[in-house]
């Protein structure tokens, strides 16, 4: 008995040290001085613009977005279909989510997803994503003010997800996603894969996640266009582009929780193939399982936190959520606000319904 008590005391001491270290590291990395940003160049930013299907990088669900998109280790609702496929195995019941984002320059982003629990150990999900905007008038070199013809641009993605709890602590999931982008008469298609893991360490509520998103081959536009002078470009003339593959590592835990209150913190490192590495930190305060207050911040390595940059990255996010039980279901309503450094802001609202 004495040995067991000693072991438990050692584990609790280590947990407190880990919590202190994570919070300290987040503060240091996020709020480092401008001198550091000037000394370390944004070399990864030179890769910007080399990948296709950029709409896949837009976060889904107001909850995860409000936490600075530091969500792959938190996932316990249907938005896990986007953030980390392994997370759907930890949803306690069947659930449906609808998300709408008022994105930049009048772009609309929609997401619909559903998760069905096949058993206590595995789950299956389906999701649909759409990005669209109003028709735009065509302009040419000789008619810069418009030709009278209008064209459209849009993206869609349809995906199936499966996840399984391999043990009480470790879960694995994958998503197969068909994506299509339309620019007037040109189309680009691909099939991409997400792979996700979630590991509960057994030390308090801490968990660790690793995700690879949008993994697949290059895509080439199909169709043909004629330019000034009569020259025509077809499938064989177009350049191919890689998908926006993203490698993510995340850590989350509850440093404080009681029967009425809970604080969840999350730290996440992203390594995209088309931009610089970035660190994201999120926090959620829950009161009486009814009211949720959230915030998050993003720090791109080699850039100033609130200074000007060329990536129009989000600098901070805020959000609020409400849990509303009704006779036949449980409803969560969430809202998030994302501030951008150059392009104003974006708003999201999501609704999830579970049994």
Does residue 30 surpass a pLDDT of 70?
A: no
Q: In the beta sheet, which residues pair with residue 207?
A: 200, 252
Task: State residue 214's pLDDT score.
Answer: 96
Q: How far apart are CA 101 and CA 131, in angstroms?
A: 9
Burial class, 8, CB count within 10 angstroms (exposed 0-12 / middle 13-18 / buried 19+): exposed
Q: What is the CATH number of the domain that holds 199?
A: 2.40.160
Domain count, the chain: 1
Residue 48 neighbours by CB under 8 Å, 6+ apart: 274, 275, 310, 311
Specify the higher pLDDT residue, 186 or 200.
200
d(CA 295, CA 212): 24
**CA distance to 17, 72, 106, 208, 332, per residue, from 21 (Å):** 6, 20, 41, 15, 33
CA separation for the pair 337, 204 (Å, rounded): 31
Gap between the Cα atoms of 211 and 2, Å rounded: 41
Q: Could you tell me the two tokens for 216?
A: 């697949």
**What would you report as the CA-atom Rg of the chain, rounded to the nearest whole angstrom?**
22
Tell me which residue of 272, 316, 309, 325 sits closest to 294, measured CA to CA.
316
Cβ proximity of 79 and 86 under 8 Å: no
> What is the C-alpha to C-alpha distance for residues 270 and 258, in angstroms, rounded to an integer?
31
Q: How far apart are CA 216 and CA 234, in angstroms?
A: 23
> How far apart are alpha carbons 184 and 151 in whole angstroms?
5
Q: Give the C-alpha separation, 338 to 138, whole Å.
A: 31
Least confident of 25-34, 158-167, 329-338: 25-34
* Residue 354 host element (H or E): strand 345-354
pLDDT band with cut points at 50, 70 and 90 for residue 146: confident
Least confident stretch, 179-188, 233-242, 260-269, 274-283: 233-242
For residue 178, what are the CA distances in angstroms to 183, 190, 320?
Answer: 17, 6, 32
Which domain does 207 fall in, by range?
Answer: 2-354
39 Cβ neighbours under 8 A, 6+ residues apart: none
Give the whole-angstrom CA distance, residue 355 versus residue 348. 24
Higher pLDDT, 20 or 352: 352
pLDDT tens-place string over residues 286-342: 999 999 999 999 887 655 443 344 444 557 899 999 999 988 899 999 999 998 877
Distance CA 280, CA 121 (A): 30
| pLDDT tens-digit series, residues 104-131 | 888 999 999 999 999 999 999 999 999 9
Choose among 287, 346, 298, 353: nearest CA to 320. Answer: 287
| 40-68 pLDDT, tens digit each | 444 555 566 678 899 999 999 999 999 99
Q: Taking all residues of the chain, what is their mean pLDDT, rounded to a whole number?
A: 84
Separation between Cα atoms, residue 52 and residue 40, nearest integer Å? 28
Q: What distance in Å separates the CA atoms of residue 248 and residue 215, rounded to the nearest whole number?
A: 12
């Amino acid at each position: 008995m004495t040995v067991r008590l000693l072991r438990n005391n050692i584990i609790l001491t280590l947990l407190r040290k880990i919590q202190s270290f994570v919070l300290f590291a987040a503060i240091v990395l996020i709020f480092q001085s401008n001198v550091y940003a000037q000394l370390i160049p944004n070399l990864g930013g030179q890769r910007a613009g080399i990948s296709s299907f950029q709409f896949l990088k837009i976060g889904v669900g107001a909850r995860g977005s409000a936490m600075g998109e530091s969500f792959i280790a938190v996932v316990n609702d249907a938005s896990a279909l986007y953030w980390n496929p392994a997370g759907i195995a930890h949803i306690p019941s069947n659930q449906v989510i609808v998300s709408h984002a008022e994105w930049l320059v009048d772009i609309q982003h929609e997401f619909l997803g559903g998760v069905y629990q096949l058993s206590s150990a595995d789950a299956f999900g389906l999701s649909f994503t759409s990005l669209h905007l109003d028709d735009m008038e065509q302009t040419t070199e000789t008619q810069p003010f418009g030709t009278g013809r209008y064209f459209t641009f849009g993206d869609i993605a349809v995906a199936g997800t499966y996840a399984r709890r391999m043990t009480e602590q470790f879960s694995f999931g994958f998503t197969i996603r068909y994506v299509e982008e339309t620019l007037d008469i040109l189309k680009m298609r691909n099939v991409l894969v997400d792979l996700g893991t979630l590991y509960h360490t057994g030390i308090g509520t801490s968990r660790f996640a690793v995700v690879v998103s949008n993994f697949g081959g290059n895509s080439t536009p199909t169709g043909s266009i004629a330019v000034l002078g009569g020259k025509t470009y077809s499938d064989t003339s177009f350049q191919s582009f890689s998908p926006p593959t993203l490698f993510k590592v995340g850590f989350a835990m509850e440093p404080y929780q009681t029967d009425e209150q809970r604080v969840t913190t999350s730290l996440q490192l992203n390594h995209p193939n088309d931009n610089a590495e970035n660190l994201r930190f999120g926090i959620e305060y829950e009161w009486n399982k009814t009211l949720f207050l959230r915030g998050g911040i993003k720090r791109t390595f080699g850039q100033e936190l609130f200074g000007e940059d060329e990536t129009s990255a989000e600098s901070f996010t805020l959000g609020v959520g409400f849990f509303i039980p009704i006779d036949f279901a449980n409803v969560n309503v969430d809202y998030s606000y994302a501030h951008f450094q150059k392009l104003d802001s974006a708003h999201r609202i999501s609704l999830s319904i579970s049994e």
